[in-house]
């Protein structure tokens, strides 16, 4: 089992890394919702909420990181932003991860999120999850 793989009882994402969710939108949404509902202390969710600009969204990420969480769930944080704002917010995820937490990202444009990701969780329609370490193109770990 790789460092980013999960046990049969749940996910174990590597700390200090950005992982992007891939797969059909409803399946990604369902997985993130289950993770949010089962989240324990040390897991924070960051969404765009009422933040209108990239700077506000970055401030929300910094505020979450200030709590020193084990994991940050990033839920569609770039929705409604233009290309430059989207890139700015996604690039900031690397800084958040560098401070220690595992960062799991669901974005309406997962391809854009892949540009800053260290790994990916590919979620299938059947509920299967495959962990991809993007640093090693041949490493795929089915869960």
Q: For the chain, what are the domain ranges?
A: 18-142
Task: State both tokens at 78.
Answer: 């770039």
Identify the CA nearest to 105 among candidates 121, 127, 128, 126: 121
Do 46 and 79 touch, CB atoms closer than 8 A? no
Asked whether the predicted pLDDT for residue 9 surpasses 50, the reply is no
Domain over 18-142 is classified CATH 3.40.50.300: yes
49-84: per-residue pLDDT in tens? Answer: 777 899 999 999 999 999 999 999 999 999 999 999
**How far separated are the first and last CA of the chain, in Å rounded?**
9
Q: How confident is the model at residue 126 (pLDDT cuts 50, 70, 90)?
A: confident
Confidence (pTM): 0.83
Do 73 and 46 touch, CB atoms closer than 8 A? yes
In whole angstroms, give the CA distance from residue 44 to residue 27. Answer: 21
Task: State both tokens at 26.
Answer: 């409803």
Beta pairing, strands 129-133 & 71-75: unpaired
């Amino acid at each position: 089992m790789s460092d980013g793989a999960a046990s049969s009882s749940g996910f174990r994402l590597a700390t200090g890394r950005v992982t992007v969710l891939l797969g059909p939108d409803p399946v990604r949404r369902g997985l993130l919702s289950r993770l949010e509902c089962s989240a324990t202390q040390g897991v924070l969710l960051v969404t765009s909420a009422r933040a209108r600009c990239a700077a506000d969204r970055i401030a929300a990420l910094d505020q979450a990181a200030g709590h020193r969480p084990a994991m940050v769930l990033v839920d569609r944080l770039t929705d409604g932003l233009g290309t430059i704002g989207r890139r700015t917010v996604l690039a900031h995820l690397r800084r958040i991860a560098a401070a220690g937490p595992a960062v799991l990202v669901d974005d309406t444009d997962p391809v854009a999120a892949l540009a800053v990701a260290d790994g990916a969780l590919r979620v299938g329609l059947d509920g299967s999850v495959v962990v991809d370490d993007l640093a090693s193109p041949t490493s795929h770990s089915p869960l």
